[in-house]
Structure 1
Amino acid sequence: MKLFGVVGWKNAGKTGLMERLVTEITGRGFSVSTVKHAHHSFDVDHPGKDSFRHREAGASQVLLSSRNRIALMHELRGAPEPTLEELLRQLAPVDLVLVEGYKRDAHPKIEAHRSVTGNPLIAPDDPTVQAVASDTPLTLDRPVFDLDDTISIADFVLAEVGL
């Protein structure tokens, strides 16, 4: 599987860019999966529901299945957080995996940047950032795209991963 990341500071436009890239790239006939890193606890389950009750009772894994989707929840219960590599091994094969977050990992990435946040760029100190998608013109030693130019960004990502 080919892998490409989207990184950036909070409110930089990562999720919107991910969403637009998935739409654009799948629209071109490629299969895409995504991995999103969360820096906080999250829940896809709701208190009182059967699967929530299973987890609360101590189940290590809870698999939900319907004719529309399946979801596998794995409780770490003190175990270390899996690495990106370990998580990728759990995915079904696709043409491209887009990763939101995991900015410290070594895979190629594009940085989403919004000037209004006032955050510094990650790219100048990170050679794994292959390009920047920004809402303001920048002069860098790598490609800079308009944050909303999804077609050009998708072209770049697909070329970088050889698709």
Structure 2
Amino acid sequence: MAKVIHAFKQQGYRVAAIKHDAHRFEMDHEGKDTWKFAQAGSDVVLINSQEKLAMIEKVESSLSFEAVISYVKDVDIILVEGYKHEAPSKILVVRREEDLTLLSSLKDVIAIATSLPLDEKQIPIYDLDDVEGIVELIQSNILGEIKDGSRS
């Protein structure tokens, strides 16, 4: 996904990346002011600099995909890792043959990205390192663009 993000950035796109973490994650660092604010009970902590804005919000439970993307503004494309049963138009990353079992339970899979030699005939297969091919697929199937970058 990082390579795809980089390729879109090279073409001038504004890109958002969303990662769904099924485990607990921690972005704040103990002892820092933002950590102290959260420990004191703040439900939302924002930190802003000349280059970045970050927000940490306490939630009662994991948010839906739609709720998460509502936070994203002013981008051309949102790339998502996770939310496999919620996110539309997905590329299934297959690292082990067992991962192929997901294909029957997922909707809107437009391709497979893998380094395995697969004999899947129903869906396009891309090598994990075929960043150009994957980017072109996303441009044509999702962004509605043809190879020269114009809208179709």
TM-score by length of 1: 0.82
Q: Which has the higher contact order (CA 8 A, sep 6+)?
A: 1
Q: 2-side partners of 1:91 and 1:106: how far apart?
A: 15
1:120 partner amino acid: D
1:45 to 28, 34, 37: 28
Report how far residue 120 of structure 1 moved: 2.9
Q: Given residue 154 of structure 1, which amino acid in structure 2 is its aligned partner?
A: V
Give the alignment's Cα RMSD to 1 decimal.
1.3
2:99 aligns with 120
Q: Does 1:150 align with 2:108?
A: no
Identity between Structure 1 and Structure 2 (%): 31
- How far has the Cα of 1:106 moved from its partner? 4.5
- The CA distance in 2 between the partners of 1:106 and 1:114, in whole Å, is 20
CA distance in 2, matches of 1:156, 1:51: 41
1:65-144 matches, within 5 Å, as: 65-76=48-59, 79-115=60-96, 119-121=98-100, 122-140=102-120, 141-144=122-125
Question: Contact 1:61 / 1:73 at 8 angstroms: preserved in 2?
Answer: yes
Asked if the contact 1:131/1:143 (under 8 Å) is kept, the reply is: yes
The one-letter code sitting in structure 2 at the alignment partner of 1:142 is: I
Do the aligned partners of residues 51 and 106 (structure 1) sit closer, same or farther apart at CA in structure 2, a change above 3 Å counting? closer
Unaligned runs of 5+ in 2: 146-152
Query: Could you list the runs of 5+ residues in structure 1 that have no partner in the other structure?
Result: 1-17
Q: TM-score, structure 2 length as denominator?
A: 0.87
1:123·1:132 contact (CA, 8 Å) conserved in 2?
A: no
